[in-house]
């Protein structure tokens, strides 16, 4: 299999290890306004990756975190007049229900940042000891000047990196910083924030250190594949690299970085801040899991996706035809052989999850199976092949299919 590595900007072969499990870490949600279609498409991408790798004999250990220590969550809880933990648990329950509704494979590990604080503090202490971080009062910052390759993944100059970081939560006017691009490892936080004991006083971790701690705790010092949405290409994932590799002493921290394109609605990026969200639970109720899966993967995962409420309706018919093909029965003569098409489907999935090509092949196979059945040809083998590939793609096939 080849996957596009966001760090090197090239397709690279992925080797399935035979002496250990493959490891995959995917940055999860901050649990408010879950689960929107942007979340769903990102996690669907990695669901398909896991299904394909397992079909090829890999054992995959999959960790997806919950960022329940984060400014937006605390602000939403304060706005709604409820406790941050109550809001988080309610949203995580909705997330899990949406995963089940979309037939997404559950993570092997599903840690919450709030329960992993103890793993973050030693990493911060080590960064300070190595000279990569510095303490100012109750705050601890990572010094980006200590990493000559900081931000390499983003392919931008310093001014562009700073501007993008500022758009995504960085405070360049914090006078305690040595460099406006330095990022927080530990902070005293706002009065409303929950706080934990630390060598630097009561406070809470910064966002970036949370994922480094959880990834290395559950998957080890080096990870095969690490992914998330394309908005994590900077600053989040470069910050993870910068703070993890000095502590573990191992490079690279991640072999392959994967990023899914963002989802748009009516020409604007779908986001919590804009409030233009389509929720997975509503789309599932209206269209069903199979139609939604098919629709969301009609464009390559690395491309941005413009969600259209009208267009998605047509994929219900494709999902119905798929179920009909799986259940098709014909006569005894001229058996339909789909082995060449099957090989092409597998090859498409192996080519950086080329789901548009794979689905086009599957659609053709469905049509050929239904036509052959109508002609009285033997289609049991063809129907079994369609079923095999449909299940590899994660289609549920509905309760009416044996």
Tell me what the mean pLDDT of segment 217-243 comes to: 98
The residues pairing with 263 across neighbouring beta strands, listed in sequence order, are: 305
Give 132-162 pLDDT, tens digit per residue.
999 999 999 999 999 999 999 999 999 999 9
Question: Is the domain of 89 the same as that of 230?
Answer: yes
Does 400 or 174 have the greater pLDDT score? Answer: 174
Question: Is the domain of 157 the same as that of 74?
Answer: yes
* Full-model pTM: 0.95
For residues 225 and 3, is the Cβ–Cβ distance under 8 A? yes
Mean pLDDT of the chain: 95
Question: Is the domain of 93 the same as that of 19?
Answer: yes
Question: Is the domain of 330 the same as that of 197?
Answer: no
CATH value at residue 147? 3.40.50.620
**Among 168, 247, 180, 176, which residue's Cα sits nearest to residue 209?**
247
Question: Is the domain of 247 the same as that of 326?
Answer: no
For residues 206 and 187, is the Cβ–Cβ distance under 8 A? yes
Residue 81 is assigned to a structural domain of this protein: yes
Q: Provide the pLDDT for residue 402.
A: 44
- What are the Cα distances from residue 28, in Å, to 38, 53, 204, 227, 278? 12, 21, 19, 10, 18
- Other residues' Cβ atoms within 10 Å of the Cβ of residue 82: 12
Domains in the chain, number: 2
- What are the Cα distances from residue 356, in Å, to 57, 294, 345? 24, 9, 10
With both helix axes pointing from N to C terminus, report the angle between 37-55 and 289-296 in degrees, rounded to the nearest 10: 90
Residue 345 is assigned to a structural domain of this protein: yes
Question: Is the domain of 351 the same as that of 240?
Answer: no
Count Cβ neighbours within 10 Å for each residue of 204-231 and write b for 16 or more, e otherwise: bbbbbbbbbbbbbbbbeebbbbbbbbbb
Question: Is the domain of 252 the same as that of 320?
Answer: no
Q: Provide the pLDDT for residue 270.
A: 76
Question: Is the domain of 190 the same as that of 332?
Answer: no
Cα separation, 174 vs 176, in Å, equals: 5
Q: Provide the pLDDT for residue 400.
A: 52
Cα separation, 301 vs 353, in Å, equals: 8
Give 251-284 pLDDT, tens digit per residue.
999 999 999 999 998 777 777 677 789 999 999 9
Question: Is the domain of 250 the same as that of 151?
Answer: yes
Give 285-344 pLDDT, tens digit per residue.
999 999 999 999 999 999 999 999 889 999 999 999 999 999 999 999 999 999 999 999
CATH value at residue 388? 1.20.120.640
Give 23-32 pLDDT, tens digit per residue.
999 999 999 9
Q: Provide the pLDDT for residue 399.
A: 62
Give 13-67 pLDDT, tens digit per residue.
999 998 999 999 999 999 998 999 999 999 999 999 999 999 999 999 999 999 9
Question: Is the domain of 347 the same as that of 232?
Answer: no
Question: Is the domain of 124 the same as that of 37?
Answer: yes
Residue 288 is assigned to a structural domain of this protein: no
Domain that holds residue 354: 293-298+311-392
């Amino acid at each position: 299999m080849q996957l596009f590595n966001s760090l090197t900007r090239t397709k690279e072969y992925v080797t399935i290890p035979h002496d250990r499990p493959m490891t995959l870490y995917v940055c999860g949600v901050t649990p408010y306004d879950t689960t929107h279609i942007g979340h769903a498409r990102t996690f669907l991408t990695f669901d398909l990756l896991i299904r394909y790798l397992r079909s090829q004999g890999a054992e995959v250990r999959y960790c997806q975190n919950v960022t329940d220590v984060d400014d937006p969550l605390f602000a939403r809880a304060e706005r709604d007049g409820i406790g941050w933990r109550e809001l988080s648990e309610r949203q995580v329950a909705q997330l899990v229900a949406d995963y089940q509704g979309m037939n997404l494979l559950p993570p092997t590990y599903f840690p919450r940042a709030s329960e992993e604080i103890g793993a973050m503090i030693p990493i911060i202490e080590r960064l300070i000891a190595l000279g990569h971080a510095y303490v100012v009062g109750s705050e601890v910052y990572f010094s980006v000047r200590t990493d000559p390759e900081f931000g390499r993944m983003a392919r931008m100059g310093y001014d562009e990196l700073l501007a993008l970081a500022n758009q995504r939560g960085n405070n360049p006017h914090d006078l305690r910083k040595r460099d406006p691009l330095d990022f927080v490892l530990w902070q005293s936080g706002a009065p409303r924030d929950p706080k934990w004991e630390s060598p630097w006083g009561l406070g809470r971790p910064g966002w970036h250190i949370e994922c480094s701690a959880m990834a290395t705790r559950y998957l080890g010092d080096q990870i095969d594949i690490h992914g998330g949405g394309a908005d994590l290409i900077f600053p989040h994932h470069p910050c993870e690299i910068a703070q993890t590799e000095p502590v573990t002493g191992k490079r690279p921290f991640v072999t392959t970085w994967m990023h899914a394109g963002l989802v748009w609605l009516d020409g604007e990026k779908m986001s919590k801040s804009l409030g233009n969200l389509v929720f997975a639970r509503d789309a599932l109720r209206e269209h069903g899991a199979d139609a939604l899966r098919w629709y969301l993967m009609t464009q390559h995962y690395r491309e941005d996706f413009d969600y259209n409420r009208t267009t998605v309706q047509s994929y219900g018919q494709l999902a119905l035809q798929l179920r009909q093909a799986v259940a098709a029965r014909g006569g005894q003569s001229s058996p339909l052989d789909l082995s060449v098409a099957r090989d092409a489907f597998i090859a498409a999935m192996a080519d950086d999850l080329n789901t548009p090509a794979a689905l086009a092949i599957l659609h053709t196979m469905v049509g050929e199976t239904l036509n052959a059945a109508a002609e009285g040809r033997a289609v049991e083998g063809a129907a079994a092949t369609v079923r095999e590939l449909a299940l590899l793609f994660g289609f549920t096939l509905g309760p009416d299919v044996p």
